[in-house]
Amino acid sequence: MAAKQKGKKRKLMVFDDHIEVISSRTGETALKFSPREMIGSHAKDVGVSVNEAEEDIAISGVHTFDDDPCQPLRINSDSMESRASYRAHQQSLSDQWTALRESLLTATIESEGMPNGQLCMVCEIEHACLRCRDCGPNQFFCKGCGVKLHQCRNHFHYMEQWLRGQEFCPFMEQPVPHLTSTRMWHKDCCSRSVRMVIVVDFHGRQHLANIELCSCQDDALFFVQQGLWPASPCKPQFCFQFKFLDRVESLLLENQTSLKGFCDGIKEALPKLIKDNV
């Protein structure tokens, strides 16, 4: 019978179908066994399968210990009990979602319609016929208030119109915003001119906008002051919101998405009835 050799380290090699104990001194296999044979009874005690218990043993790599290689391998029962508790918690969450499924579907369908008797959120007099989800949840407006609000401030939002008492469709009379410089000298400049450009917003939607420029500064500088990046340094006709470029950076660099895949994803996410200007 081999005596215990204290202080002699041995390597525990875990493979897909077996475990080997290798002597550090000779490099030879001292013991070879299947973990299934050793942990089956213990796995049954803590209420997990043998496969799950095997994952808790050391599951890949090399391990060392200072005792007899023939000693029983210690199994971390706390780890297996924790896994069983986590699995029970996840199952409980799944059951709760299942119980709410029908109610969630009904609430989603109801949110796609215009509430009965809904008044404009601005004037609170006229009945609402427009909705803007970019303004926030449940933002309904009459036509006059919706157009005025989005022409003077909420630029590049996308409004929808309630038609035939059945569905929301793209509002075909979207106001064209007018962007001008906030610099004091710009108001007195005699070289001011207005140019219509196409703006791509955060969601990849295209908007027409009137840009008021002057010869006192380069066109590209004016676009940057408006939070827009021009497609060309001189007389740009196309520009992008900075937030859209941040989105492009995160997907192309962090997620390694291809440029074609990104463009296809943007196009697929857009409402089918939105008109592209280019």
Closest CA to 202 of 271, 135, 252, 134: 134
CB 53 within 8 A of CB 44: no
* Nearest-angstrom CA–CA distance, 144 and 131: 13
Dihedral (CA of 7, 8, 11, 17) sign:
negative
3-state secondary structure of 212: strand
Q: Tell me the average pLDDT across 107-130.
A: 92
Per-residue confidence (pLDDT) for residue 10, from 0 to 100: 62
With b meaning 16 or more CB within 10 Å and e meaning fewer, what string describes 216-246?
eeebbebbeebebbbeeeeebebbbbeebee
Q: Tell me the average pLDDT across 187-195.
A: 78
Closest CA to 203 of 169, 168, 236, 243: 243
Phi-psi region of 89 (alpha: psi -120 to 50; beta: other; left: phi over 0): alpha
> Which residue in this structure is represented by tokens 């157009």?
147
| Bridging pattern class, strands 206-213 and 29-33 | unpaired
Q: How many CB atoms are located within 10 Å of the residue 49 CB? A: 12
Q: Which pLDDT band, with edges at 50, 70 and 90, does 35 fall under?
A: low
Q: Tell me the average pLDDT across 56-78.
A: 47
Q: Which pLDDT band, with edges at 50, 70 and 90, does 256 fall under?
A: confident
